[in-house]
Structure 1
């Protein structure tokens, strides 16, 4: 009974900590509401133009030709909304910079104007009938959704024990939008931008399956799946593309904001910072940033164990300090160490030693917060009074996690091969003494 209760508690805690959507499930019908606000904070809205720009949009197409991915079978439902033009017109209006005019269904507009003209003519009693002219666009906005990449990242995890378990899964898709402004007088492409947006799907589940008695089987299952709406992702990508089009146009002299040169400089600086961040970010949101400075100092502590000629070695405390220097390539580092540790065998041997070393280190993921690393080097081990110094080769591996860009926490293990068999005072056989060290510490980067 105690095991059964523990399993129930485990499932409850997992659901409480895994996904807030589980407690926001739609059990009741909802009334229609104003659509979700997906618009980003438009940089361009801070400096509006003196006169809004009249633009026309004929068609903003889904150029992917892709259908929705399904687990089994096939579907003729498209992966991307076909209402891209409508979404783009809304984004142009919200930006505060443009006056969009109807061009997607220009035929309907012309027909209606002709009906109005004919109707007025009938009741004009021979008088001339005129209508105000249509606005014409000095700029046309073109583009489309050019790609929809499904399952660029998929993954999950799970745990099952004694008939009880839970799992979570996730999937990430990606949509890419291109947008360009074209001059109607010359046909020149004034600006061309593109924006990408990821679409996340998540699911968690928990279940229990076990016999509570000989003929009674208990089954419990629960879970929730949450999918980011593709239409909102398209809207957010188009919003960002419109803002980027305006900002790059301001920098390039295509558009002129209120505020003159001062406003242009503010926009340039904000765009420069965003561009730097974008250049540092690769696919899958990986950051190409040299987080670690070239010089660092560190301190660590841990346990050491001798593999020598006596039996029953024990783990003893030790500590060391290190000075680290990075080469031009951040994957490779050079560092020196100086430390103190103890070695002992139960009831037979005990000693205190001073160790030093010079190492070459290779970091597997130098631009990430978390990275494995391996190193090799040479060094020495001396007794506490600095007598009987022994030469050694060492190598090890570890992991470092940056708490901030200045402070990193590391775990490592090290294998020391001495060039002597007399570290413990005994020479037995033809194998040299070994020292195994493992510990943790902090690196501080300057």
Structure 2
């Protein structure tokens, strides 16, 4: 049976994915006595509800308990109770009173409370809903399905304060995404003249918000520990192991600094110079002859970036243009094109391209005779940057001619056009 339809016994809580990397840091020379008075939700947001109202909060209100657990597991901190300090002092008063009552002046005093070397402050300061959302679906003959997804994110800030001077020694922050997905399918059909069948099924997945907050807090404690070692605030027993951890952390932090608000890894040096593109593809002639067929082509292009988003190019394409059994010619097309990149610093970006030029037939290319046509159109595609200097691209292309003579026939009121696709690899010098 599917586990979703079974009850389960209570079990130890699930650890976050960062927990192991937090607890396996090099050991400290001496744990730091640490106090946490309150680590609370500062967003003030309530849980979303389609209808009616609710007083449930969007994120957990147990941030203090989660942080105390992370500090205890990290081995670098020695947490002391401050959240329930009034309860603690009241219980100590009860113990002191009972000892005095039964032992009189011989009563042993209680051990003094520990005082903290540092005070941890901060909280859950951000919960952003629908950072990215989308979906898709299809339906054919009353049978179809759909899927939706939504991404939220929670942000945690943590700072260490010296109890001797009140100086803020270190501040760190972490962000964790929260994914929700839903898939569903349905079908409606007449299975008999008087019998109508309707069926549907679906499943949804929602990443637990409490675990997301736990992971963000664990990551913040780990980050605070590593930066404390780096800046000399905390002392490890194994300096060589600590140095290796710090180096890996610096690399990951440098990479994190190149991410945008949606978590995409940016490459600010993309397309730094003149690009040489080699590619190929195919086209289908929409003209006045019958029997359209797919014909191959090859492309050589130069592309000069004008800005991060715009590039000017010169493209030469050699290929076949024809229709089955009626027409076939080898042509050369030379075009100037202007390309717009939607996300120029991302590894993957869609683009739009406008192009115009001339197409001529062999064996006399570039001669403006009855075998030449002016053409123009555009492309929509995407480019994936393997590294800042090397990109792979694919596009859907449409070209219209200024006359109706590309296929040597002039029939009807519509000019000839070419529809096709292309792919290429570009090296930017």
Report the TM-score, using the length of structure 1 for normalisation: 0.82
Supply the distance in 1 between the matched residues of 2:177 and 2:411 (Cα, whole angstroms): 64
Shift, 1:96, TM fit:
1.9
Supply the distance in 2 between the matched residues of 1:218 and 1:271 (Cα, whole angstroms): 58
Q: Corresponding residue for 1:440?
A: 422
**Cα distance, 1:428–1:130 mapped onto 2, change above 3 Å:** closer
Supply the distance in 2 between the matched residues of 1:188 and 1:146 (Cα, whole angstroms): 21
Supply the distance in 1 between the matched residues of 2:28 and 2:323 (Cα, whole angstroms): 81
Which deviates further from its counterpart, 56-65 or 392-401?
A: 392-401
Contiguous gaps of at least 5 residues in structure 2: none
1:410 pairs with one of 369, 394, 407: 394
SS of the aligned residue for 2:4 comes to coil
Is the CA contact (8 Å cut-off) linking 1:413 and 1:437 kept in structure 2? yes
Is the CA contact (8 Å cut-off) linking 1:369 and 1:402 kept in structure 2? yes
**Cα distance, 1:403–1:280 mapped onto 2, change above 3 Å:** closer
SS of the aligned residue for 2:21 comes to coil
Supply the distance in 1 between the matched residues of 2:286 and 2:62 (Cα, whole angstroms): 71
Is the CA contact (8 Å cut-off) linking 1:305 and 1:436 kept in structure 2? yes
SS of the aligned residue for 1:223 comes to strand
Supply the distance in 2 between the matched residues of 1:202 and 1:439 (Cα, whole angstroms): 33
**Cα distance, 1:157–1:354 mapped onto 2, change above 3 Å:** closer
1:321 pairs with one of 291, 296, 299: 299
Shift, 1:322, TM fit:
1.6
String of CA shifts for 1:124-165, please: whole Å, max 9, x gaps: 353252222111001000111122223333332233333333
Is the CA contact (8 Å cut-off) linking 1:314 and 1:343 kept in structure 2? no
Supply the distance in 2 between the matched residues of 1:426 and 1:220 (Cα, whole angstroms): 54
Shift, 1:110, TM fit:
1.2
Shift, 1:391, TM fit:
7.7
1:158 aligns with 2:137: yes
1:398 aligns with 2:380: yes
Q: Corresponding residue for 1:30?
A: 8
Report the TM-score, using the length of structure 2 for normalisation: 0.85
Is the CA contact (8 Å cut-off) linking 1:48 and 1:97 kept in structure 2? yes
Is the CA contact (8 Å cut-off) linking 1:398 and 1:412 kept in structure 2? yes
Shift, 1:112, TM fit:
1.6
Is the CA contact (8 Å cut-off) linking 1:306 and 1:313 kept in structure 2? no
Q: Corresponding residue for 1:384?
A: 363
**Cα distance, 1:319–1:348 mapped onto 2, change above 3 Å:** closer
Q: Corresponding residue for 1:228?
A: 207
Spell out the pairing of 1:21-100 with structure 2 (5 A cutoff). 24-40=2-18, 41-42=20-21, 45-100=24-79
Is the CA contact (8 Å cut-off) linking 1:358 and 1:379 kept in structure 2? no
Shift, 1:187, TM fit:
0.6
